[in-house]
Homo-oligomer: A and B are copies of this chain.
Amino acid sequence: MPLIDEKEKAVILLSGGIDSTVLLHLLSRRGYALYALACRYGQRHSRELECARIQAASAGVAAFHYLDMGFLGGLLREGSALIDSGAPVPDLADIPPDLRDQPPTYVPNRNMLLLSVASAYAEALGAPRVFYGAQAQDEYGYWDCTQDFLERINALLALNRRQPVTVEAPFLRCSKADNVKLGLELGVDFGATWSCYRGGKKACGACPTCVERLNAFKIVGVEDPLSYETGQETP
């Protein structure tokens, strides 16, 4: 019997949004020693990363790293509306249906890049698993949040000859409403999460992720503690 009951180490990508925050608290409850990464990749604002830091502290992580990859802003600005100095963020209503499978808010290859960093860190730590909060988007989609993506990135990582790391996305088939519900059960403070793609004082209420978030709270039947620019109905 070991002298101390050692927790299994796991790396988690935190964005400061609802999904990764709920995942963080779920994994903490399940007893993992969590090593959290929050990455700046040139996005318009860092409000969400401040939320990531607050949530990591409240979940009692073993380590929290803020990674500055701001250089990606310069490399990717032609490729995404989420990147500072890129095209403006559209309202969800203004994105034509045939573009919603890879909308203007898609960031080129972002999840593969962040999961590569997380997997490198996990390998160096001796942590067998990397977690990220991909969920089943209702209104739009990204190829790097799918079951196929998960299977193929794990097929790639499995080639490692000493210590293959596995990427897990437990919410891949969960809706945002499922995650809000689970978060409420876990006592998550949703007032310290941020989703809006725009960087205003209040959330805009109209960009793709705001629409999805507001719908999720409406389905669950509770009020979102965040303030919105446009007067949103409360259920």
Interface residues of A (CB under 8 A from B): 65, 67-69, 71-72, 74-80, 101-102, 107-110, 112-113, 116-117, 119-121, 123-126, 143-144, 146, 148-149, 152-153, 155-157, 159-162, 165
Contact = CB atoms under 8 A, between A and B. Distances in A.
B153 A156 contact: yes
A112 to B, nearest CB: 5
10 residue pairs, one from A and one from B, having the closest CB atoms: A79-B124, A109-B120, A108-B123, A113-B116, A152-B156, A108-B120, A102-B161, A76-B124, A75-B121, A116-B116
A146 B159 contact: yes
B146 A152 contact: no
B109 A113 contact: no
A143 B160 CA distance: 6
B80 A109 contact: no
A213 to B, nearest CB: 23
A149 B143 contact: no
A80 B77 CA distance: 33
A2 B73 CA distance: 31
A167 to B, nearest CB: 11
Given A152-B156, A153-B156, 6 more contacts: A101-B161, A109-B120, A113-B117, A113-B120, A143-B160, A149-B159
A80 B159 CA distance: 18
Contacts of A152: 152, 155-156, 159
A56 to B, nearest CB: 16
B72 A71 contact: no
B102 A109 contact: no
Nearest to A164: B143
A148 B67 CA distance: 30
A121 B76 contact: yes
Contacts of A69: 69
A162 to B, nearest CB: 5
Nearest to A141: B161
A146 B160 CA distance: 11
Contacts of A80: 124
A75 B65 contact: yes
Contact of A123 (B77, B79, B116, B121): B79
